Structure 1
């Protein structure tokens, strides 16, 4: 049976909105463009669990009005502003949107934290007929060359036990989530960046598993990984190609 996540899941990103905004990779522009093409109209888009508004801001280039919803005031304090964007501090289970307004409801790298039955009930309430619903996630990054093996050992073996249970849903591309909508096939997309080691380590520092590891005092794992990567990486200003596959469950609301 597919999992249904409860509202008691810890909000790992309650703090650190500034770091999250600085180091989390941006979505490719084609993601927002695609979501606009499959929505019934370009009136209102709602980005649930919007964090610092990375996708929210991109959607604002396509929709007349965009609402960014997140339960973390710290995240919203670091959100990207826009003339047609309204950010609201609220949960996914009680959306502050009027009935029958949204043409698109999207949750990017966030749905694994939601109480899905409650969220889906709210999605149906706020949406227009045939509205588009999209649950977006990006998977485990891959690096170029042999350095990728050291990263994979760190991700799967060393820090693996410190990930919240919800992370498995991201690793599977949300394949195991209940999705009670008229589903369509999503196009292949990826996030691609050319980062220095400092940028990669800054991104890793935003992981929920790293926060848990620090709380348990096991920082030597981080120190060993950073030291190994420093040797393998080369010069500090070297930029290496990094890729995250984008996964998406997407469909339309039917009566």
Structure 2
């Protein structure tokens, strides 16, 4: 029986690369994201399946669960993202709501819907894609920081609650990862501001680095749980401390 994986937020960046890497490792991958055209193209490339899915919408999650069926080996909760970099006093409440819905409620709903299939596999794995923003704070990141702290808390609570079940609960917390869309989305399509995030950083992480780490995590023996992997480029000591070459 082939192993089955679901990756949310699979239309670009870390999600798309994780889907590719899991397929290369022998998984059939269900690619879930809002942009149907992108995931259909990706699924065709890797021999997987595409499900148009907004993880914040219960009806979309139900459709994803129907597509998966009764057995699932791996769930990568990757959908999410950051919006804005305003201080708390000026931050847009709508941005907070959107980030909480995608990062937290989406992770919750996908986990609830697919948990029975993960348990039924006898050795399921959930990998929640967090962030170093969920392990500390930095100026301007309040909404994203709050959302990723919530993802970390959800992950740790779920691990306690499912300790008697055959499911591993894992989190990967990346630092600076240069993808085509993360910072561009954060700054509302402002390419100049997006590029400035990585200015002078010789080697930020890329999506492949995170995807390779996720695949390593899920391929450990079933009794090995990688509770948390924090992964940053060498040039980044903390969210707010990055070496930039002049």
- TM-score, with normalisation over the residues of structure 1? 0.41
More strand per residue: 1
- TM-score, with normalisation over the residues of structure 2? 0.42
More helix per residue: 2
Higher relative contact order (CA 8 A, sep 6+): 1
Could you say which structure has the larger radius of gyration?
1
